[in-house]
C-alpha cells in the first residue's frame, strides 16, 4: 500500500444542531397540514435517527494539496478537490440558518459541469475560519508552484553551463580570425 505524502492541515467539525436544522422545514410543512400531523409523529424520530447517522458519516479534511469531503449513509461518496482547481468559496446564510447560527460553504471549481456549486457544506463549526484556511493554503500552494526552485546544485550547473558557452564562443572567435 502506497503511503500518502500529504499533510493534514485541518479537519472540519460540524455543529451539534445541524440535524435539527435539516428536520425543521419539513416538520413545519407537516405541522401546517391536517394530514401531516400524524406523519409528524413518524417523521421526527425517523428523521432524527437518519440525520444523526448522516452527520456521523460526514467529514471534511483540508490537506496541503486538496480538500476531501466524505458523506452519505446508504451511498457514501468521497469528493477530492485539488486546491488549485477551486475558483470560488462562498458563505451563505439564509433566515433559517441565522436562527440556528449556521453557514453553508459552497465550493466551485474550474472545469465543473453544470451550474451551481460542486460541493455544499452546511454546518461547519466556524465556517468563515475554515474558508480562510482553505483559501490561505490555496494561495500558499500557488506561490510554491510559481516560485523557481533555488538550490546550490542548480546555481553550480548554471555557472558551469555559462562557462562552457563562454569557452565555445572564444573558440568560434579564434577560428573566425584565422
Domains of the chain: 10-147 (2.30.29.30)
Residue owning grid cell 546544485 = 153
8 A C-beta contact, residue 14 and residue 100: no
Contact 41, 27 (CB under 8 A): no
User: Angle CA(47)–CA(94)–CA(17) in degrees, nearest 5?
Assistant: 40
Place of cell 421526527: 44
pTM for the model stands at 0.73
Nearest to 56 by CA among 103, 4, 13, 117: 13
Enumerate residue ranges in the chain where pLDDT < 70: 1-4, 113-116, 146-155, 178
What gap in Å lies between CA 157 and CA 151, rounded to an integer?
A: 10
Instruction: Give tens-digit pLDDT for 140-157.
Output: 988 877 665 555 556 677
Residue position matching grid coordinates 455544499 = 120
Amino acid at each position: 500500500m502506497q503511503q500518502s505524502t500529504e499533510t493534514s492541515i485541518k479537519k472540519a467539525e460540524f455543529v451539534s444542531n445541524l440535524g435539527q436544522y435539516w428536520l425543521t422545514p419539513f416538520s413545519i410543512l407537516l405541522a401546517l397540514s391536517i394530514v401531516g400531523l400524524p406523519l409528524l409523529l413518524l417523521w421526527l424520530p425517523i428523521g432524527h435517527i437518519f440525520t444523526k447517522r448522516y452527520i456521523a458519516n460526514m467529514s471534511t479534511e483540508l490537506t496541503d494539496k486538496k480538500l476531501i469531503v466524505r458523506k452519505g449513509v446508504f451511498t457514501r461518496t468521497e469528493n477530492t478537490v485539488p486546491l488549485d482547481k477551486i475558483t470560488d468559496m462562498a458563505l451563505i446564510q439564509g433566515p433559517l440558518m441565522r436562527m440556528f447560527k449556521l453557514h453553508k460553504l459552497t465550493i466551485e471549481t474550474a472545469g465543473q459541469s453544470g451550474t451551481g456549486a460542486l460541493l455544499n457544506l452546511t454546518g461547519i463549526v466556524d465556517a468563515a475560519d475554515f474558508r480562510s484556511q482553505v483559501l490561505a493554503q490555496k494561495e500558499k500552494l500557488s506561490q510554491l508552484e510559481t516560485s523557481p526552485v533555488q538550490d546550490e546544485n542548480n546555481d553550480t550547473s548554471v555557472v558551469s553551463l555559462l562557462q562552457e558557452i563562454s569557452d565555445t564562443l572564444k573558440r568560434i572567435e579564434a577560428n573566425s580570425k584565422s
